[in-house]
Amino acid sequence: MLATSFVILSAFFAAQIEALPSGAPVSSCSTMMPFHIPFLFVQQGVAPFSITLSSQTASPQSPITVTLKANSGGPAFKGYLIQARSGKNIQAVGTFTADGQSNTGKTINCPGGIKNAVTHTSRTDKTSETFLWTPPANFKGQVVMMATVVVRYNQIYKGVQSSLITRKKKG
């Protein structure tokens, strides 16, 4: 009985981790994990993905392009959630634009903001997704782009990070 229950629960949880076709739910915003369930499927070590930036400085008048991509020879990915975060703060900052960029993603409204995260809109294999990010008007200090990337139900990479982004100096 216990073994049967374990198999049924394992199958249920595995199905829940598969990249949702409509993207990450708002409930994933704070943890950046599928369904807030602490799975053992988070991969350790260096992720085969990177987040590149068009610039390491940004301002509300000078947004930057953010690209999540599979590294050369790395696997394609089915799902993702990307946010800009400051320090240990779990609240996403700034706004993303998905329209007109090279992506199949969409913006979502995580708590405390509007369009402050981006996620996938289909489970098709992807090797690159590009968005525009605009910092908030009161942007000071530094932020980093954070991503969770789903390759398949048992292969999730959490904590994929960009280099630091600082406020662009006037002038």
β-sheet bridge partners, residue 53: 66
Domains in the chain, number: 1
Domain containing residue 92: 2-167
CATH number at residue 142: 2.60.40.4060
Q: What is the pLDDT along the chain (171 residues), one digit of tens a residue?
A: 544 433 333 434 443 444 566 788 898 899 888 763 555 577 777 899 999 999 999 999 999 999 999 999 999 999 999 999 998 888 899 999 987 667 789 999 999 999 999 999 988 999 999 999 999 999 988 999 999 999 987 888 999 999 999 998 875
Euclidean distance between the first and the last CA atom of the chain, given in angstroms as a whole number: 70
pTM for this structure? Answer: 0.84
Alpha-helical runs (H) found in the chain? 2-17
How, if at all, do strands 142-152 and 165-167 pair? antiparallel
Between the CA of residue 38 and those of 31, 41, 106, what are the distances in Å?
10, 9, 25
DSSP state of 165: E
